Amino acid sequence: MARIGITQPLTVLHRARQGAYLDGAELGEILLPNREAPEGLESGDSVNVFVYHDGEGRLVATATKPRAQLGEVAFLNVVSVSRVGAFLEWGLAKDLLLPFGEQRGQPEEGRSQLVKIIQNHDGRLVASAQLDRHLEDTATCYQQGDEVVLVVAHDTDIGYKVVVDFRYWGLINLNEIRAPLKRGQRLTGYIQRLRPDDRLSISLNAPGAAKSDEFSEKVLAQLEKNDGFLPLNDKSSPEEIFSSFRVSKAAFKQTIGKLYKARKIRIEKDGIYLS
């Protein structure tokens, strides 16, 4: 069954002058306009499309992937403000409505808003800046070390408040941060520890052996990409290391020490080299 608000493969039923009609099952036939359709598309072909309502309320498909899909959180720019609400740019021809009832503060043209993509009572996709309505403060579904998707909400006195897997609030403590994070920035994080109050503490570093092995591969890949040399070593500053790899200096030294012992790199005064 086709779903509104996500990218999915749908089958072409037939072609018409205005485009290709796709099998939306219970949603009926969905038009993929010619301007959105890949060349050479024929009946029976499968095509990845995003389904949403056009300006007249009809379901349409597009091969363009928006900046955020149903259920996701993103930092979107306000392109206009009208009597029905604010409109946000999200990568599609039709801008996304941020209704008055879902606004927080007063949106201004040219400024961005952190929003979650939801469906209104008519099933249409809209944005909501009222994130506390749609995100939970606690979670019991994770184990320590689990990998999660993060979206940065804002900084606090003790760290950064983040959206975890588009469903929960979490916090990255200041001691985890080596460089400023940007509002709306999407990154990978890890559940740092399980708290008694079920609130989420997040780390930017992968745990244990997984972190070490993953980071070793990343260092080797960067060396190969840069002709076998990186201007970093155990004398480099924490800021330089974090800017390049987003890990602590301790994690970096541990990894290059391991690679050195395995004779995969050599460490010189000006940096590290592939052996």
Q: In the chain, how many domains are there?
A: 4
Contact 186, 114 (CB under 8 A): no
Domain assignment present for residue 142? The answer is no
Report whether pLDDT(211) > 70.
no
Report the C-alpha gap between 74 and 163 in whole angstroms.
Answer: 10
Record the tokens describing residue 263, joined without a space: 């004779």
Angle at 135 between CA 159 and CA 53, to 5 degrees: 125
Name the pTM for this structure. 0.75
pLDDT at 210 exceeding the cut of 80? no
Q: What whole-number percentage of the chain has pLDDT above 70?
A: 98
Which domain-ending residue is among 104, 133, 162? Answer: 133
Among 173, 188, 203, where does a domain finish? 203
Q: Indicate whether 120 and 164 sit together in one domain.
A: no
Both 39 and 80 in one domain: the answer is no
Domain encompassing residue 29: 7-62
Please indicate, yes or no, whether residues 115 and 156 belong to a single structural domain of this protein: no
- Shared-domain flag, residues 77 and 118: yes
Q: What is the pLDDT of residue 86?
A: 97
Model confidence at 212, pLDDT cuts 50, 70, 90, reads low
- Assess if residue 99 is contained within a domain: yes
Residue 9's pLDDT is 95
pLDDT, position 208 = 60
Is residue 196 located within the same domain as residue 225?
no
Q: For residue 1, is it within any domain? A: no
Contacts of residue 101, defined as CB under 8 A and 6 or more positions apart, other chains included, come to none
- In this structure, of 111-125, 141-155, 158-172, 175-189, the range with the lowest mean pLDDT score is 175-189
**Which backbone phi and psi does 239 adopt, to 5 degrees?**
-65, -40
The per-residue pLDDT for 8 is 95
Asked whether residue 202 carries a pLDDT value surpassing 80, the answer given is yes
Position 237 in a domain:
yes
Spatial distance between the Cα atoms of 245 and 109, rounded to a whole number of angstroms: 35
Mean pLDDT, all residues of the chain: 91
84: domain CATH number is 2.40.50.140
What is the pLDDT, as a whole number, of residue 209? Answer: 46
Half-sphere exposure in the Cβ direction for 248 (13 Å, CA): 14
CA distance 30 to 10: 9
E strand or H helix that includes residue 238: helix 238-245
Q: Quote the pLDDT of residue 262.
A: 86
Closest by CA to 60, choosing from 98, 17, 27, 91, is: 27
pLDDT digits (tens, 9 = 90+) for 116-152: 999 999 999 999 999 999 999 999 999 888 889 999 9
116 assigned to some structural domain: yes
CA distance 195 to 87: 39
- The pLDDT tens digits of the residues spanning 27-48 come to 999 999 999 888 888 899 999 9
